[in-house]
Amino acid sequence: MAGSPDSPGNAGFEQPASFALDAESEAEIAKLVAKYPPGRQASAVIPSLYVVQRQMQRQTGSAWVPVKAMDAVAHRLGMAPIRVYEVATFYFMFNTRPIGKYHLQVCTTTPCWLRGSDEVTRTCRELTGIKGWGETSEDGMFTMTEVECLGACVNAPILQVDDDFYEDMDAEKVTALIAALRRGERPKVGSMAGRQGSAPEGGPTTLTTLSFAPEA
Protein backbone atom coordinates (compact mmCIF):
# COMPACT_ATOMS: atom_id res chain seq x y z
CA MET A 1 0.00 0.00 0.00
CA ALA A 2 2.90 2.31 0.71
CA GLY A 3 5.30 3.96 -1.62
CA SER A 4 5.12 5.19 -5.13
CA PRO A 5 3.68 3.27 -8.06
CA ASP A 6 7.17 2.66 -9.36
CA SER A 7 8.56 1.33 -6.10
CA PRO A 8 9.41 -2.37 -6.16
CA GLY A 9 6.61 -3.38 -3.80
CA ASN A 10 4.09 -2.07 -6.25
CA ALA A 11 5.53 -3.56 -9.40
CA GLY A 12 3.67 -6.27 -11.22
CA PHE A 13 0.43 -4.51 -12.00
CA GLU A 14 -0.61 -2.05 -14.59
CA GLN A 15 -1.96 1.42 -14.06
CA PRO A 16 -4.83 2.18 -16.42
CA ALA A 17 -3.89 4.63 -19.15
CA SER A 18 -6.84 6.87 -18.48
CA PHE A 19 -9.64 7.47 -16.04
CA ALA A 20 -12.68 9.67 -16.33
CA LEU A 21 -15.31 10.32 -13.71
CA ASP A 22 -18.62 8.77 -14.81
CA ALA A 23 -21.97 10.46 -14.36
CA GLU A 24 -22.70 8.70 -11.07
CA SER A 25 -19.36 9.74 -9.56
CA GLU A 26 -19.74 13.28 -10.85
CA ALA A 27 -23.12 13.57 -9.15
CA GLU A 28 -21.77 12.19 -5.88
CA ILE A 29 -18.75 14.49 -5.87
CA ALA A 30 -20.94 17.49 -6.65
CA LYS A 31 -22.98 16.63 -3.56
CA LEU A 32 -19.81 16.36 -1.46
CA VAL A 33 -18.37 19.64 -2.70
CA ALA A 34 -21.61 21.42 -1.90
CA LYS A 35 -21.07 20.67 1.79
CA TYR A 36 -18.12 23.05 1.98
CA PRO A 37 -17.86 26.81 1.47
CA PRO A 38 -16.90 27.97 -2.02
CA GLY A 39 -13.16 27.73 -2.58
CA ARG A 40 -12.83 25.00 0.05
CA GLN A 41 -13.75 22.17 -2.27
CA ALA A 42 -10.43 20.47 -1.48
CA SER A 43 -12.02 19.43 1.82
CA ALA A 44 -14.01 16.86 -0.16
CA VAL A 45 -10.91 14.96 -1.17
CA ILE A 46 -11.31 11.95 1.15
CA PRO A 47 -14.92 11.09 0.28
CA SER A 48 -14.17 11.84 -3.37
CA LEU A 49 -11.44 9.23 -3.35
CA TYR A 50 -14.03 6.78 -2.04
CA VAL A 51 -16.27 7.73 -4.90
CA VAL A 52 -13.62 6.94 -7.49
CA GLN A 53 -12.69 3.73 -5.69
CA ARG A 54 -16.31 2.63 -5.93
CA GLN A 55 -16.38 3.67 -9.58
CA MET A 56 -13.42 1.39 -10.21
CA GLN A 57 -15.32 -1.40 -8.46
CA ARG A 58 -18.32 -0.81 -10.70
CA GLN A 59 -16.24 -0.69 -13.83
CA THR A 60 -13.55 -3.31 -13.21
CA GLY A 61 -14.76 -5.30 -10.21
CA SER A 62 -11.71 -4.27 -8.25
CA ALA A 63 -12.07 -1.41 -5.78
CA TRP A 64 -8.85 0.53 -6.06
CA VAL A 65 -7.62 4.03 -6.89
CA PRO A 66 -5.19 4.23 -9.77
CA VAL A 67 -2.97 7.29 -10.22
CA LYS A 68 -5.13 8.53 -13.07
CA ALA A 69 -8.15 8.47 -10.78
CA MET A 70 -6.25 10.53 -8.20
CA ASP A 71 -5.40 12.97 -10.98
CA ALA A 72 -9.08 13.13 -11.92
CA VAL A 73 -9.99 13.96 -8.31
CA ALA A 74 -7.22 16.57 -8.18
CA HIS A 75 -8.51 18.14 -11.35
CA ARG A 76 -12.11 18.06 -10.19
CA LEU A 77 -11.26 19.66 -6.84
CA GLY A 78 -8.64 22.11 -8.16
CA MET A 79 -5.80 20.63 -6.13
CA ALA A 80 -2.22 19.85 -7.02
CA PRO A 81 -2.10 16.12 -7.86
CA ILE A 82 0.59 15.46 -5.25
CA ARG A 83 -1.78 16.65 -2.50
CA VAL A 84 -4.23 13.94 -3.54
CA TYR A 85 -1.46 11.33 -3.74
CA GLU A 86 -0.53 12.20 -0.17
CA VAL A 87 -4.07 11.64 1.09
CA ALA A 88 -4.66 8.49 -0.95
CA THR A 89 -1.46 6.86 0.27
CA PHE A 90 -1.92 7.97 3.87
CA TYR A 91 -5.18 6.12 4.45
CA PHE A 92 -5.03 2.38 4.01
CA MET A 93 -8.74 2.32 3.17
CA PHE A 94 -7.71 3.48 -0.26
CA ASN A 95 -6.18 0.68 -2.27
CA THR A 96 -3.43 2.03 -4.46
CA ARG A 97 -3.05 -1.31 -6.22
CA PRO A 98 -5.68 -3.64 -7.65
CA ILE A 99 -7.43 -5.98 -5.21
CA GLY A 100 -9.66 -9.00 -5.58
CA LYS A 101 -13.40 -8.91 -6.02
CA TYR A 102 -13.91 -9.17 -2.26
CA HIS A 103 -11.70 -7.39 0.24
CA LEU A 104 -11.44 -9.47 3.40
CA GLN A 105 -10.25 -7.25 6.23
CA VAL A 106 -9.48 -9.17 9.38
CA CYS A 107 -9.24 -7.26 12.61
CA THR A 108 -6.40 -8.64 14.72
CA THR A 109 -6.29 -6.05 17.46
CA THR A 110 -6.36 -7.35 21.03
CA PRO A 111 -10.13 -7.81 21.65
CA CYS A 112 -10.64 -9.59 18.33
CA TRP A 113 -7.48 -11.58 18.87
CA LEU A 114 -8.65 -12.71 22.33
CA ARG A 115 -11.96 -13.73 20.82
CA GLY A 116 -10.37 -15.82 18.08
CA SER A 117 -9.20 -13.70 15.18
CA ASP A 118 -6.37 -16.20 14.66
CA GLU A 119 -9.02 -18.79 13.80
CA VAL A 120 -10.71 -16.37 11.39
CA THR A 121 -7.38 -15.64 9.72
CA ARG A 122 -6.46 -19.30 9.45
CA THR A 123 -9.81 -20.24 7.98
CA CYS A 124 -9.71 -17.42 5.45
CA ARG A 125 -6.26 -18.51 4.34
CA GLU A 126 -7.21 -22.14 4.04
CA LEU A 127 -10.30 -21.35 1.98
CA THR A 128 -8.76 -18.77 -0.33
CA GLY A 129 -5.22 -20.07 -0.64
CA ILE A 130 -3.79 -16.66 0.32
CA LYS A 131 -0.46 -16.92 2.11
CA GLY A 132 0.35 -13.44 3.42
CA TRP A 133 -1.31 -10.16 4.24
CA GLY A 134 -2.08 -7.92 1.31
CA GLU A 135 -2.11 -10.78 -1.17
CA THR A 136 -4.80 -11.65 -3.64
CA SER A 137 -6.03 -15.20 -4.22
CA GLU A 138 -5.11 -16.82 -7.50
CA ASP A 139 -8.66 -16.78 -8.75
CA GLY A 140 -8.79 -13.03 -8.18
CA MET A 141 -11.77 -13.36 -5.84
CA PHE A 142 -10.27 -12.31 -2.53
CA THR A 143 -7.67 -9.98 -1.10
CA MET A 144 -6.82 -10.33 2.57
CA THR A 145 -5.71 -7.39 4.66
CA GLU A 146 -4.86 -7.12 8.32
CA VAL A 147 -6.57 -4.14 9.87
CA GLU A 148 -6.42 -2.47 13.24
CA CYS A 149 -9.39 -2.01 15.55
CA LEU A 150 -12.62 -1.58 13.61
CA GLY A 151 -14.43 -0.30 16.66
CA ALA A 152 -16.85 -3.18 17.05
CA CYS A 153 -15.03 -5.01 19.86
CA VAL A 154 -18.27 -5.99 21.60
CA ASN A 155 -18.96 -8.27 18.65
CA ALA A 156 -15.40 -9.50 18.19
CA PRO A 157 -13.94 -11.02 16.15
CA ILE A 158 -14.79 -8.97 13.07
CA LEU A 159 -14.28 -9.79 9.43
CA GLN A 160 -14.95 -6.79 7.24
CA VAL A 161 -15.84 -7.58 3.65
CA ASP A 162 -15.51 -4.45 1.51
CA ASP A 163 -17.63 -1.96 3.48
CA ASP A 164 -19.61 -4.48 5.53
CA PHE A 165 -18.95 -5.83 9.04
CA TYR A 166 -19.50 -9.54 9.72
CA GLU A 167 -19.33 -10.00 13.49
CA ASP A 168 -19.02 -12.82 16.02
CA MET A 169 -17.03 -14.86 13.52
CA ASP A 170 -15.59 -18.30 13.97
CA ALA A 171 -14.25 -20.93 11.58
CA GLU A 172 -17.67 -22.28 10.70
CA LYS A 173 -19.19 -18.88 10.01
CA VAL A 174 -16.19 -17.80 7.94
CA THR A 175 -16.58 -20.95 5.83
CA ALA A 176 -20.26 -20.23 5.28
CA LEU A 177 -19.57 -16.57 4.50
CA ILE A 178 -16.88 -17.29 1.96
CA ALA A 179 -18.98 -19.97 0.31
CA ALA A 180 -21.82 -17.45 0.02
CA LEU A 181 -19.50 -14.83 -1.42
CA ARG A 182 -18.26 -17.32 -3.98
CA ARG A 183 -21.87 -17.92 -5.01
CA GLY A 184 -22.26 -14.18 -5.44
CA GLU A 185 -24.47 -13.78 -2.41
CA ARG A 186 -24.09 -11.18 0.30
CA PRO A 187 -25.29 -12.58 3.63
CA LYS A 188 -26.99 -10.18 6.01
CA VAL A 189 -24.41 -7.97 7.73
CA GLY A 190 -23.94 -7.68 11.46
CA SER A 191 -23.71 -10.39 14.05
CA MET A 192 -23.44 -13.83 12.51
CA ALA A 193 -24.48 -15.34 15.85
CA GLY A 194 -27.92 -13.84 15.58
CA ARG A 195 -27.47 -11.11 18.16
CA GLN A 196 -29.44 -7.96 17.87
CA GLY A 197 -26.78 -5.26 17.50
CA SER A 198 -24.46 -5.82 20.43
CA ALA A 199 -27.14 -7.06 22.76
CA PRO A 200 -26.34 -10.22 24.78
CA GLU A 201 -26.68 -13.55 23.05
CA GLY A 202 -30.02 -15.22 23.76
CA GLY A 203 -31.82 -12.10 24.95
CA PRO A 204 -31.45 -9.69 27.88
CA THR A 205 -29.66 -10.95 31.00
CA THR A 206 -30.00 -7.91 33.22
CA LEU A 207 -32.74 -5.43 34.06
CA THR A 208 -35.22 -8.12 33.14
CA THR A 209 -37.61 -7.12 35.87
CA LEU A 210 -37.74 -3.48 34.90
CA SER A 211 -41.23 -2.29 34.34
CA PHE A 212 -42.11 0.59 32.12
CA ALA A 213 -45.59 0.97 33.60
CA PRO A 214 -46.52 4.52 34.45
CA GLU A 215 -46.17 5.35 38.13
CA ALA A 216 -49.36 5.35 40.07
Partner 1 sequence: MAKVTIDGIEVEVPNGSTIIQAAEAAGIEIPRFCYHERLSIAGNCRMCLVEVEKAPPKPIASCGYPVADGMVVHTDTPMVRNARRGVMEFLLINHPLDCPICDQGGECDLQDQAMGYGMDHSRYAENKRAVKDKNLGPLVKTVMTRCIHCTRCIRFITEVAGVPDLGATARGEHMEVGTYVEKALGSELSANIIDLCPVGALTSKPYAFVARPWELQKVDSIDVLDAVGANIRVDARGPEVLRILPRINEDVNEEWLGDKSRFSVDGLKRRRLDRPWVRVDGKLQPATWSEAFAAVHEKLRGVPGERIGAVAGNLCDAESMLALKELMVALGSSNLDCRQDGAKIDIARRDFYCFNTGIAGIEEADALLILGSNPRREAPVLNARIRKTWLNNGMPVGVVGTETELTYPVTALGAELSVLSGLIDGTHAFGKALRDAKKPMVIVGQAALARPDGSAVLAAAWKLAGEIGALAPDWHGFNVLHTAAARVGALDLGFVPGPRGRDLAGMLGGGVDVLWLLGADEFDTSAIGPNTFVIYQGHHGDAGAHRADVILPGAAYTEKHGTYVNTEGRVQHGFMAVYPPGEAREDWRIIRALSEMLGKTLPYDTLEAVRARLAQVNPAFANVGFLPRFGASDLTAPAGDPAAIGSEPLVPAIASYYQTDPISRASPTMAACVTAHAPATAIAAE
Q: Residues interacting with partner 1, by CB under 8 A?
A: 1-8, 67, 74, 79-83, 85-86, 89-90
Taking the least distance from each CB to partner 1, the nearer of 23 and 82 is 82
Q: 159 and 104 in contact (C-beta within 8 Å)?
A: yes
Q: 192 and 177 in contact (C-beta within 8 Å)?
A: yes
Three-state DSSP class for 146? strand
Cα separations in angstroms, 207 against 18, 210, 216:
60, 5, 21
Taking the least distance from each CB to partner 1, the nearer of 94 and 102 is 94
Taking the least distance from each CB to partner 1, the nearer of 74 and 127 is 74
Taking the least distance from each CB to partner 1, the nearer of 1 and 154 is 1
Half-sphere exposure of residue 204: CA atoms within 13 angstroms, side-chain side: 5
Rg of the chain's alpha carbons, rounded to an integer? Answer: 21
Taking the least distance from each CB to partner 1, the nearer of 16 and 200 is 16
Taking the least distance from each CB to partner 1, the nearer of 81 and 111 is 81
User: Order of strands, edge to edge, in the sheet holding 102-107?
Assistant: 142-147, 102-107, 159-161, 164-167, 190-191
State the Cα–Cα distance between residues 6 and 136, nearest whole angstrom: 20
The helix (run of H) or strand (run of E) holding residue 51 is: helix 45-60
State the Cα–Cα distance between residues 160 and 164, nearest whole angstrom: 5
Residues 6 or more apart whose CB falls under 8 angstroms from that of 146 comprise: 105, 106, 108, 133
Q: How far is the CB of 168 from partner 1 (least distance, A)?
A: 31
